[in-house]
Amino acid sequence: MEIPEEENVEKASQEAAEGASEGASEEASEETPVSTSEESSEAAPKTLDSEYGQDSNEAESAELQTEITPTEAAVAEEARKTEHAWIEDSEATVQIEAETEAEAETPVSIEVPEAPETPEIVEDTVQFHEETEETEEIEKAVEASEEAKEAAAAERASAPGFFERLKAGLSKTSKVITDRIDLLLNDYGKIDEELYEELEEILITADIGMETTMSLIDNLKKALVERRISDASQVKTVLRDVMVDTLKAHSDNHLNIDQSPAILFVIGVNGAGKTTTIGKIAHKLNLEGKTVMLAAADTFRAAAIDQLKIWGERSGVPVIAHQEGSDPAAVVYDAIQAAKARKTDVLICDTAGRLHNKKNLMNELAKIFRVIERDYPEAQREVLLVLDATTGQNGLQQAKIFKETAQITGIALTKLDGTAKGGVVLSILHEVEIPVKLIGVGEGLNDLQPFDPEKFVNALLDIS
């Protein structure tokens, strides 16, 4: 029968296929060095396909899968790297958080640059400070002025009248003249040449001077004749009138500083009393309501600058001063500019004491006058020569020399209270023809007064 043959053929074919499959499995096992248990279990079961010739494809797939699967060592290495990277990231995160906290705790300092000052702002600031300082200085001057006025009022209230002070001051000169004249006239019953000669000697002794004395005697004779007086007891009264007329001929006690602006220039020799006279004038003007400024142009002596500052404080007026040895003309120039800026009514300039026979010092005065004429032409000017009455006829010579150089407009005669030579006033007015505008008879602020011819002669001759 043919069927048994076919069954034999199928069995033979099946056995051959199984043999081939087992050979392929052995070769695959030899080529693969390591195989996991899972892979072995997956490859072990045989499907239906293997029975129909699919075993070869499955073997190839298992071989490819074995080649691409990582080993345990590779897996461990990869896990180690991953863990290391995670640790580094954690440390970096901790460091960043710490730095953030530190920055948060640190105070923030922001520097703001200063805005640059423009020239306009700087100029306005400087001007503001200058105006503030000037305002403060003016306020201080006003306060000092009020205090000075109060002190002066108290002094005037307690002081005697000026005529009494003048009479007391001229007491030494008065004794020289009055006592001897009274004795002479009592001895003579009639008027003759011998009487005139005796009277002439008395007047010269009082430092009236020869020229002025001769003029007085001549005028006395004329007046006695005109009045038809022959009694010697009336000679003193007529002499008084002659003296007053002589003084009034060149008398003008008005200082040329009543208009604003004005400048009062004070000159004289050393020790004449210039600085004291300036202080008293400043005090008087201040009481009159005028604004006053002092210029310390006596730069040869530091003591002179200090003395003027003391008088400025006492009178409540500002003082413009430089260092010792500075150019006096420069001081006057600066004072003029300051007086203009503050609209000062009267600028009073002190100068160094100088002898009338020193040409270089006299030329220095000329330089200062040029500065005044150039920079302060609109100001009224008074050039006041201060003379010490105790110098007598020497003061007369000073006045003559200063008149030629300094364009003197008035004289202030000081220290009349300490001399018997007060008669020099008559010779100065008669021979120099410069008016005596001020006389001083004491140290007080009110002891410097305008010259009054009648009061002066009455005090000189002790006539009430």
Structural domains of the chain, ranges and CATH numbers in brackets = 262-408 (3.40.50.300)
- Angstrom distance (rounded) from CA 153 to CA 159: 10
* Mean pLDDT confidence for 281-294: 93
Q: Are 278 and 350 in contact (CB under 8 A)?
A: yes
By C-alpha distance, which of 88, 78, 21, 31 is closest to 51?
Answer: 21
According to the annotation, is 342 in a ligand binding site? Answer: no
Task: Give the pLDDT band (50/70/90) at residue 281.
Answer: very high
Q: How confident is the model at residue 274, as a pLDDT?
A: 92
Element spanning 413, H or E: strand 410-414
Task: Give the pLDDT band (50/70/90) at residue 167.
Answer: confident
Identify the residue with better confidence: 66 or 88: 88
Q: Are 220 and 235 in contact (CB under 8 A)?
A: yes
Question: Has residue 396 got a pLDDT over 70?
Answer: yes
- Angstrom distance (rounded) from CA 166 to CA 44: 158
Give Cα 446 distance to the centre of its chain: 32
Q: How confident is the model at residue 186, as a pLDDT?
A: 87
Query: For a pLDDT cut of 90, what percent of the chain falls above it?
Result: 32
According to the annotation, is 353 in a ligand binding site? Answer: yes
Q: How confident is the model at residue 442, as a pLDDT?
A: 80
**Which residues lie across from 449 on neighbouring strands?**
439
According to the annotation, is 399 in a ligand binding site? Answer: no
Q: Tell me, what amino acid is at 140?
A: K
Question: Has residue 280 got a pLDDT over 50?
Answer: yes
Task: Give the pLDDT band (50/70/90) at residue 9.
Answer: very low
The 8-class DSSP code of residue 232 comes to: G
- Dihedral over Cα of 46, 50, 54, 55: its sign: positive
Omega within 30 of 0 (cis) for the link into 70 = no
SS3 assignment, position 386: strand
According to the annotation, is 416 in a ligand binding site? Answer: yes
SS3 assignment, position 36: coil
According to the annotation, is 270 in a ligand binding site? Answer: yes
Q: Are 269 and 398 in contact (CB under 8 A)?
A: yes
Angle at 83 between CA 82 and CA 87, to 5 degrees: 120
Beta strands in 254-392 (DSSP E): 262-267, 292-297, 319-321, 346-351, 380-388
Give pairs for 140-148: CB < 8 Å, separation 24+. Answer: 141/316, 141/317, 141/318, 142/316, 143/316, 144/313, 144/315, 144/316, 144/317, 145/286, 145/315, 145/316, 145/317, 146/316, 147/316, 148/283, 148/286, 148/287, 148/314, 148/315, 148/316
According to the annotation, is 271 in a ligand binding site? Answer: yes
CA distances in angstroms from 122 to 126, 169, 224, listed in the order given: 6, 59, 80
* Interhelix angle 210-227/235-249, nearest 10 degrees: 120
According to the annotation, is 274 in a ligand binding site? Answer: yes
Task: Give the pLDDT band (50/70/90) at residue 301.
Answer: confident
According to the annotation, is 352 in a ligand binding site? Answer: yes
In what order do the strands lie in the sheet containing 262-267? 319-321, 292-297, 346-351, 262-267, 380-388, 410-414, 436-440, 448-450
According to the annotation, is 275 in a ligand binding site? Answer: yes
Label residue 15 exposed, middle or buried (CB < 10 Å: 0-12, 13-18, 19+).
Answer: exposed
* Mean pLDDT confidence for 413-429: 84
- pTM, rounded to two decimals: 0.64
Q: How confident is the model at residue 459, as a pLDDT?
A: 86
By C-alpha distance, which of 63, 29, 408 is closest to 252?
Answer: 408
According to the annotation, is 325 in a ligand binding site? Answer: no
* Mean pLDDT confidence for 326-339: 94
Task: Give the pLDDT band (50/70/90) at residue 219.
Answer: very high
Which range is least confidently modeled, 54-63, 317-326, 342-351, 410-419?
Answer: 54-63
According to the annotation, is 350 in a ligand binding site? Answer: yes
Q: How confident is the model at residue 443, as a pLDDT?
A: 80
Q: Which of 76-90, 94-108, 126-140, 187-201 has the highest mean pLDDT?
A: 187-201
Question: Has residue 273 got a pLDDT over 60?
Answer: yes
Question: Has residue 84 got a pLDDT over 90?
Answer: no
List the helix and strand counts (H, then E) for the chain. Answer: 19, 8
Q: How confident is the model at residue 291, as a pLDDT?
A: 95
The 8-class DSSP code of residue 271 comes to: T
Task: Give the pLDDT band (50/70/90) at residue 405.
Answer: confident
According to the annotation, is 334 in a ligand binding site? Answer: no
CA distances in angstroms from 80 to 57, 74, 84, 88, 351, listed in the order given: 37, 10, 6, 12, 107
Which range is least confidently modeled, 54-58, 82-86, 165-169, 368-372?
Answer: 54-58
Q: Tell me, what amino acid is at 354?
A: R
Question: Has residue 111 got a pLDDT over 60?
Answer: no
Name the region of 273 (left: φ>0; alpha: ψ -120 to 50; beta: rest): left
Question: Has residue 24 got a pLDDT over 70?
Answer: no
Task: Give the pLDDT band (50/70/90) at residue 94.
Answer: very low
Q: How confident is the model at residue 139, as a pLDDT?
A: 54
CA distances in angstroms from 36 to 29, 72, 309, listed in the order given: 12, 10, 120
Place of tokens 């298992």: 62
Q: How confident is the model at residue 28, as a pLDDT?
A: 39
SS3 assignment, position 332: helix
Q: How confident is the model at residue 297, as a pLDDT?
A: 92
- The strand pair at 346-351 and 319-321 is best described as unpaired
According to the annotation, is 351 in a ligand binding site? Answer: yes
* Mean pLDDT confidence for 253-270: 92
**Which residues lie across from 413 on neighbouring strands?**
387, 439
SS3 assignment, position 267: strand
Identify the residue with better confidence: 18 or 309: 309
